[in-house]
Amino acid sequence: MDISIDDILAELDRDTTIVERSDPSSQVPLTSDGNTTMVNSSFDPGQIPLRKAGLQDDITPEKDYTRLMTLWRNERCSPELLPFPTLLMNRMLRRVQEQMEKIENISMGFYEDGAAGPSQQPNESAFGSNKDKLPLLCMEAELERVKFVIRSYLRCRMHKIDKYMLYLKQLEYAGNNAASLKELLSEQELVYHSRHFASLLKLFNSSVLRHMPPELQAVNDTEGSISMVDEPEWGRFVFLHVKMPSERALKEDPLLERNEFGKPCYIVTIQELNEDVELTVGGIYVMRYEVIRDLLRDGKVELI
Amino acid sequence: MSLPDHLQSTFSPEEIQFIVENEPIKIFPRITTRQPARSGAKGGSPPIRCTLITTDDASINQLVATRSSEVALWLALLLKQQNKCSIIAPQWLTLQALDRSIQFEKTHPDRFSAMPWNWLVLAQLLFKRAPDDFHDPVHDLRSKVQDLREIRQLKVLKGLRHLNESHLQLDNLSLLEVNELRPFVLDTMDRLREIHSAANQDTIQPAPADQHGYPEPL
């Protein structure tokens, strides 16, 4: 007779390792602002320490960087402008700043050592400083890598802001969606958007548009033969990878279902073709963006 | 434009390599960075610690010579460049494992073998930067990897016949292979979709635009 004791062992494991690491990706990752798990005061006392551990565990430099990489890749592949991760970006920029200062400080220390060292023990200090360059090298190389990702991410967003200028303007004018534009763009991007729009409009107006009859002067005419407002192509195809959900999500996620092979999968519907598609966990698909948009927002799939 | 044309819808191979370089890999360090427990007796300033902001810096500060440990690939390559470590090739990058994969590819014409998503990039990187760390002769490994790549390319070519307007499933295709296919596959499928929806516009109503919660055009 076989008695399965896996769950009992798991229970024991959880006691010995204080920090719960079993489901790193379950606590609503990519809520797009990096602001996860709010500590709610109405939790029962036994729950709070666990929650706190989860919270601290969640915001580590490594996780933030992984999240930034995912956001960067999603932004590069998706046809629409994704919401700006304000908190995550603040944390990243602060860390870059601190790291730069730290490198500065350490390299200052090098000069002092080099000046003072040779007089006392020339052999050892020469050897020592040579060895000590390595950490500095690593830190500088890493800093360059982080800066590259952030730069590429922001440039990609600026490209999309240029492209969807009129569409974003429309969102702004629509009134009820004014708040949504604020969370879609960062403060600097908002400034860039409005100023770039103003200067471009001025150029068009002064060079061409003022010679037109009044009914043809609008730059955002959607009534004419061709709509002037470029919307994101919602139906554009993208490559996506279905992420492995965590243990807890496996049981609780209402969207997850099992297919005939027993593998978990999400079922999505392509409305235009009236077709259901199973997205098996771990698979790579080419799919229309509008179909998987909600899954992407929830961080269940990532674009590649 | 703020983003160059060739980067607007896809990644450059260098960026793919950048992504792959973030993955962890095992190394044999040749230096010891771990502090001995009683270093205080020696006096003098403690050596500089490496504080990293993207990966776990404990791993690099706890290196003991010839005891294998795991660091990010870019760090491993940096150390290798300085001759401070040797890189342990992953399990799948041996003649045996590659032979198995090739066998699998040959016996299953309808699917790709389960290579890791970064195999092509990782293999090229290691062949170039750490050729002396392999147990098997590098030229053999190189030719096996090339074989595997060609077999998979053939399958991809066969699969292109099935491009359609609904979807495509490409399990186990690696990132670099996806990236070189991307412009062609996506554009072709987009055109197919446009033709399809234009033909069916009268019979099937397109999805309502306000489904996304965006306002009606002004």
Would the CB atoms of A270 and B170 count as touching at under 8 Å?
Answer: no
| Residue A26: per-residue pLDDT | 41
pTM over 0.90: no
Q: What is d(CA B65, CA B85) in angstroms, rounded to the nearest whole number?
A: 8
The residue whose two tokens read 């519907």 is A269
Q: What percent of chain A has pLDDT over 70?
A: 72
Q: What is d(CA A126, CA A131) in angstroms, rounded to the nearest whole number?
A: 9
Would the CB atoms of A177 and B167 count as touching at under 8 Å?
Answer: no
Would the CB atoms of A285 and B167 count as touching at under 8 Å?
Answer: yes
The architecture (CATH level 2) of B12-35+51-88 comes to 3-Layer(aba) Sandwich (3.40)
**Best residue in A89, A286, A291 to probe B by mutation, most B CBs within 10 Å?**
A286
Cβ burial, residue A60 (10 Å; 0-12/13-18/19+): exposed
Q: Does B60 touch chain A (CB under 8 A)?
A: yes
Select the residue of B45, B196, B215 nearest A171 (Cβ to Cβ). Answer: B215
The residue whose two tokens read 């763009």 is A185
Cβ burial, residue A24 (10 Å; 0-12/13-18/19+): middle
Query: Are A289 and A79 within 8 A, CB to CB?
Result: yes
| Residue A293: per-residue pLDDT | 87
Q: Which of A267-271, B166-170, B178-182 holds the top average pLDDT?
A: B178-182
* Strand order across the beta sheet in which A256-258 lies: A256-258, A264-270, A275-280
Select the residue of B7, B15, B50 nearest A139 (Cβ to Cβ). Answer: B50
Q: What is d(CA B44, CA A113) in angstroms, rounded to the nearest whole number?
A: 11
Domains along chain A?
Answer: 60-110+133-232 (1.20.58.1030), 233-303 (3.40.5.60)
Q: Does B112 touch chain A (CB under 8 A)?
A: no
Q: What is d(CA A266, CA A255) in angstroms, rounded to the nearest whole number?
A: 6
**Best residue in A271, A273, A294 to probe B by mutation, most B CBs within 10 Å?**
A273
Q: Does B182 touch chain A (CB under 8 A)?
A: yes
* Chain B residues inside the 8 Å CB shell of A138: 50, 52, 60, 75, 78
| Residue A33: per-residue pLDDT | 43
* Chain A residues inside the 8 Å CB shell of B207: 271-272, 290
User: Where in chain B do CATH 3.40.5.50 domains reside?
Assistant: 12-35+51-88
Sign, CA dihedral A121-A127-A130-A134, equals negative
Would the CB atoms of A177 and B54 count as touching at under 8 Å?
Answer: no
Selected residue with higher pLDDT from B96 and B34: B96
DSSP string, A167-202: HHHHHHHTSTTHHHHHHHS-HHHHHHHHHHHHHHHH
Q: What is the pLDDT of residues B46-90, one digit of tens each?
A: 566 677 777 777 777 778 888 888 888 998 999 899 888 899 999
Length of chain B: 218
Task: Map residue A8 onto helix, strand or coil.
Answer: helix
Tally A–B CB contacts below 8 A. 157
Q: Residues 6 or more apart from A145 whose CB is under 8 A from it?
A: B18, B54, B74
* Chain A residues inside the 8 Å CB shell of B2: 155-156, 158-159, 162
Q: Does A244 touch chain B (CB under 8 A)?
A: no
B136 torsion bin: left (phi>0), alpha (psi -120 to 50), beta (else): beta
Stretch A80-96: mean pLDDT:
91
Could you tell me the pLDDT band of residue A151, with boundaries at 50, 70 and 90?
very high
Domain B91-201 = CATH 1.20.58.1020: yes
- Name the β-bridge partners of A264: A258
- Name the β-bridge partners of B85: B29
Q: What is d(CA A107, CA A135) in angstroms, rounded to the nearest whole number?
A: 11
Structural tokens at position A199:
């200067």
Q: Does A218 touch chain B (CB under 8 A)?
A: no
| Residue A199: per-residue pLDDT | 94
Query: Are A10 and A280 within 8 A, CB to CB?
Result: no
* Chain B residues inside the 8 Å CB shell of A293: 212
Selected residue with higher pLDDT from A23 and A193: A193
The residue whose two tokens read 């991809």 is B156
* Chain B residues inside the 8 Å CB shell of A73: 19
Nearest CA in chain B to A242: B171
* Chain B residues inside the 8 Å CB shell of A177: 214-215
DSSP string, A68-98: HHHHHHHHHH-SSPPPP-HHHHHHHHHHHHH
DSSP string, A87-155: HHHHHHHHHHHHHHHHHHHHHHHHHHHHHHHHHH-HHHHHHHHHHHHHHHHHHHHHHHHHHHHHHHHHH
Would the CB atoms of A61 and B52 count as touching at under 8 Å?
Answer: yes
Would the CB atoms of B74 and A141 count as touching at under 8 Å?
Answer: yes
Q: Residues 6 or more apart from A64 whose CB is under 8 A from it?
A: A34, A88, A91, A92, A95
Could you tell me the pLDDT band of residue A41, with boundaries at 50, 70 and 90?
very low
In this predicted structure, the answer to whether residue A56 has a pLDDT above a threshold of 90 is: no
Q: What is d(CA B150, CA A274) in angstroms, rounded to the nearest whole number?
A: 37
Length of chain A: 304
Stretch B7-30: mean pLDDT:
90
Select the residue of B50, B171, B189 nearest A237 (Cβ to Cβ). Answer: B189
User: Where in chain B do CATH 1.20.58.1020 domains reside?
Assistant: 91-201
| Residue A50: per-residue pLDDT | 42
